[in-house]
Structure 1
Amino acid sequence: MFQRCPQSMAVKWTGGHSSSVLCLTVSAEGLVVSSAERGELALWDGGGSLVGQLRLPGDDDVTSVVFSARRPSTLYTSHGETISVLDVRALQEPLERFHVNEEEINCLSVNDTDSLLAAADDSGAIKVVDLESKKVTRSLRHSNICSSVAFRPQRPQSLVSCGLDMQVMLWNLQKARPLWTTNLQECGTEEDSPQSAGQFFNPPLAHSLSVASCGNVFGCGAQDGKVRIFRVTGVKFERELEFQGHSLGVSQVLFMPQAYWLLSGGNDGKVLLWDIGSELGKQQKSPAKSLQRRKAQAPASSKKNGKLNKVSSSEQAGVVPKLTIEHGEKVNWLSCAEIKGCRRVLVADQSSSVSVYPLPEL
């Protein structure tokens, strides 16, 4: 059942920026940082009051912001090819600044022991930095722009990444090569095959990743409007779910802290909330527990010209959003915060404000 949340229900946080807000992050203490074009950073308290502003040197767009896992006042920011470390208790000149990437950074991730930081950039490189020495300990690579990277919770040496090469990769930092790689164009149903006209004009360029708090389930949003859910099993991962989330590209996916609730935001101006846990539960009850296995075990009658037909629509029909927010603007970033005892979705878009929507009880 769709619940629609009209744009009029949004609270706007204004006055923090003069241009498009590009990304958001929330500290363990409930502080919100938004960043924008031309080096702009803004700090908000839980009630949406502006409590600090800073323009980073160089006027490069601030493309990613992430709080330290162990030090809630320490903020890592990427602007251009530079990573700056800030203290939000006194938002002023960076405490430290280091330059390890050769092209613009798209995404930062810090592991939960606060020992390593990963920075993914336009060259396809992922630079893994030891936060004590500020030196690169590992260089990983995609063949095209690396759009997103995320450490897995409870596994400080393991991360996942995705990029515009349509690759999703699982890494262990003890190895230079990925443990497992999936090409979104090749791993789909027949409908997703390279021969498909829709795929040719709208390939599944991977834009965003988010890992659930368990560390073994992660989601990927792609340009074809689909959300794909994977489960890590040892040194590989399997695709558990795939569903059409948006009519245009999925720019953001975000697992919320509790259970398996996933937010997705798209270029179609929608923000959707999905109950992935119930869908994974259905998969576990099925004799074939993954999408690949279901396809592999499909009866011969479902094959055509040696290829499997697309997965039965009934298998995907049950995956519908629990909440639809008609935001109306292309989504740049999503975050989630508890404000005055209620959970809220924070949305950054092409405007200079942050939109805040209430979430129903989950």
Structure 2
Amino acid sequence: MAAKWIGGHSSPVLCLNVNTEGLVASGAERGELALWDGGGTPAGQLQLPKADDVTSVVFSPQCPTRLYTSHGETISLLDVRSLKEPVEQFHVSEEEINCLAVNETDSFLAAADDSGAIKIVDLEKKKAIRSLRHSNICSSVVFRPQRPQSLVSCGLDMQVMLWNLQKARPLWTTNLQECETAGPQSAGQFFNPPLAHSLSVASCGNIFGCGAQDGKVRIFRVTGSRFEQEMEFQGHSLGVSQVLFMPEAYWLLTGGNDGKVLLWDVSSDVGKPQKSPAKSLQRRKAQAPASTRKNDKLTKVASDARDKMLPKLTIEHGEKVNWILCTEIKGSKRVLVADQSSSISQYLLPGP
């Protein structure tokens, strides 16, 4: 059974984040923002102006009292020690912002919006310095750990992109629909295309996961200025709204529109360091049948490996998942789940 965090909101909770001190922030519809202590007790509340939905909340990695929030087309910087009007505001987007990301040095912020744009804000200069772009709604953007100028993004154009802040064009792009395995399942993609909803990068910075509308989870490995798909598996019966790598290497949480939260161990497939990624890719291409090669890229994941992938833990949450967060409370890892209700659900994760 889930423990419920209540009293912070009156509207559906849309997003969650936690700082290095264990303080949790949540954003909800109608401009509601709340802070929670580790026990699930509200520690602060704020009504943001215009009552626009709070779609993303991100703590500064360097300063745990700084909280960036997106509401409508606006980014607000708040001081959690005194939740009053914003310390600063940035107006860099023309349409509603879906996701915020701050790099680990707290020097750049990325804001992905409904126009497909990703606006990069220099937090020292306090202005937008670059605009990156998808051809449809950009749903998720995240900086890579240990690489403060590198980020990945995905969107409803079914594109996953790798960027470096020095360049306006992506270093590498993959279309999830073109990566689909040939065969009977492909026909269904016309009716249920792999619109990309969520991204998460593992702590190593080279492995990242993507959740999509077709219910599949795809795992990619970055090598230099490109990335390739390592594996894919059917994660949910409906769209995968959230993916989240846990601090431990290669344990992945996923949340879906089917009301389930699943825990996966992908370490057996991606946890082994590659001494020579280029040679490894060449070897896999050589071993693959001709039907799996397209544009000199490996585009098919072995079906037997995908079929064997089963979750290590299934949480029957029962409601469409808006956001998931992993945090440690009283020495145990917990999963916090935001859904269509005004409360936050807390689940205990079993120990190793």
CA distance in 2, matches of 1:208, 1:128: 19
What is the aligned counterpart of 1:55 among 44, 47, 59? 47
**Change in 2 beyond 3 A, CA 1:131/1:189:** same
Shift of 1:317: 2.4
Which residue of the partner structure matches residue 224 of structure 2? 234
- May I ask how many residue pairs the two structures share in their alignment? 346
Shift of 1:298: 2.3
1:40 partner amino acid:
E
Taking the TM superposition and a 5 Å limit, the aligned residue runs for 1:1-362 are 9-191=1-183, 196-281=186-271, 294=284, 297-299=287-289, 311-362=301-352
Shift of 1:361: 1.1
Task: Report the secondary structure of 1:58's partner residue.
Answer: helix
**Change in 2 beyond 3 A, CA 1:191/1:149:** farther
Shift of 1:208: 0.2
CA distance in 2, matches of 1:222, 1:106: 16
Shift of 1:313: 3.2
- Residues 162 and 170 in structure 2, CA contact (< 8 A), matched pair in contact too: yes
1:317 partner amino acid:
D
Q: Percent identity between the aligned chains?
A: 79
CA distance in 1, matches of 2:180, 2:150: 25
CA distance in 1, matches of 2:291, 2:121: 52
Which residue of the partner structure matches residue 3 of structure 1? none
CA distance in 2, matches of 1:289, 1:202: 32
1:332 partner amino acid:
N
2:223 partner amino acid:
T
Shift of 1:357: 0.2
Q: Normalised by the size of structure 1, how large is the TM-score?
A: 0.91
**Change in 2 beyond 3 A, CA 1:26/1:302:** closer
1:18 partner amino acid:
S
Q: Deviations over 1:65-106 (max 9, x none)?
A: 000010001000000000000011111111111100000000
Which residue of the partner structure matches residue 6 of structure 1? none
**Change in 2 beyond 3 A, CA 1:310/1:152:** closer
Shift of 1:134: 1.4
Task: Report the secondary structure of 1:90's partner residue.
Answer: coil
Runs of 4+ in 1 over 3 A off after TM superposition: 281-285, 287-290, 292-296, 299-303, 308-313
CA distance in 1, matches of 2:175, 2:270: 22
**Change in 2 beyond 3 A, CA 1:87/1:146:** same
Shift of 1:197: 2.6
Q: RMSD of aligned C-alpha atoms?
A: 2.2
- Residues 197 and 241 in structure 2, CA contact (< 8 A), matched pair in contact too: yes
Task: Report the secondary structure of 2:190's partner residue.
Answer: helix
Q: Deviations over 1:142-177 (max 9, x none)?
A: 000000000001101100000000000000111110
**Change in 2 beyond 3 A, CA 1:255/1:302:** closer
Question: What residue ranges of structure 1 are gaps of 5+ in the alignment?
Answer: 1-8
CA distance in 2, matches of 1:170, 1:309: 18
CA distance in 2, matches of 1:102, 1:302: 41
Shift of 1:250: 0.2
Shift of 1:300: 5.9
Task: Report the secondary structure of 2:94's partner residue.
Answer: coil
**Change in 2 beyond 3 A, CA 1:69/1:313:** same
Shift of 1:188: 2.1
2:263 partner amino acid:
L
Question: What residue ranges of structure 2 are gaps of 5+ in the alignment?
Answer: none
CA distance in 2, matches of 1:156, 1:18: 37
**Change in 2 beyond 3 A, CA 1:276/1:192:** farther
CA distance in 2, matches of 1:301, 1:187: 12
- Residues 240 and 283 in structure 1, CA contact (< 8 A), matched pair in contact too: no
**Change in 2 beyond 3 A, CA 1:253/1:170:** same
**Change in 2 beyond 3 A, CA 1:28/1:313:** same
Shift of 1:289: 5.2
Greater CA drift, 242-251 or 310-319 = 310-319
**Change in 2 beyond 3 A, CA 1:289/1:317:** farther
Q: Normalised by the size of structure 2, how large is the TM-score?
A: 0.93
**Change in 2 beyond 3 A, CA 1:249/1:72:** same
Shift of 1:319: 1.5
